[in-house]
């Protein structure tokens, strides 16, 4: 056994004199954790729904593009003179490019909207969580 001044130290008095932060109310902690998980779940659901909407719209665009390409090939086949075919090809290429840009912007907007909704939920929950922490700190003080 140890001897000297430290061996006579009263550990209960030592720990009683320490100012430890109060343990959080477990119900409040569990409720906050539940809200966090619900928010993350909702944000994931929104992101998934957004991805599904983008995939559906992309498929619609592909189907539409195939139909337009078929019509374009038929129109090119009907043109007789080489100059008429070249002019028709240039016009079809211009239209295809403009549609592609429009479609890319549409898909980009869908993705951006979905991400913004999901991020908004997470940001809102973060603000709520910080308010809850602040309230707990004030309560324990």
Instruction: Please give the pLDDT value at position 72.
Output: 84
Would you call 79 exposed, middle or buried from its count of C-beta atoms within 10 A (0-12, 13-18, 19+)?
middle
Tell me what pLDDT residue 24 has: 59
Q: What are the residue ranges spanned by the domains of the chain? A: 41-140
Alpha-carbon distance of 134 to 50, in angstroms, equals 34
**What is the pLDDT tens value at each position of the chain, 141 positions in all?**
455 555 556 767 766 665 545 555 778 888 889 999 999 999 999 999 999 999 999 999 999 999 988 888 887 788 778 888 888 888 888 998 999 999 999 999 999 999 999 999 999 999 999 998 888 778 776
């Amino acid at each position: 056994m140890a001897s000297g001044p430290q061996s006579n130290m009263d550990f209960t008095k030592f720990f009683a004199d320490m100012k430890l932060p109060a343990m959080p109310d477990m119900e409040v902690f569990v409720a906050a954790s539940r809200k966090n998980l619900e928010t993350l779940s909702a944000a994931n659901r929104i992101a998934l729904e957004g991805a599904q909407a983008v995939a559906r719209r992309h498929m619609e665009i592909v189907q539409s593009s195939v139909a337009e390409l078929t019509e374009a090939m038929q129109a090119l086949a009907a043109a007789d003179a080489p100059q008429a075919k070249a002019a028709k090809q240039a016009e079809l290429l211009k239209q295809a490019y403009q549609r592609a840009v429009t479609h890319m912007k549409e898909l980009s907007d869908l993705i951006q909207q979905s991400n913004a909704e999901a991020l908004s939920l997470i940001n809102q929950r973060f603000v709520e969580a910080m308010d809850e922490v602040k309230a707990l700190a004030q309560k324990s003080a």
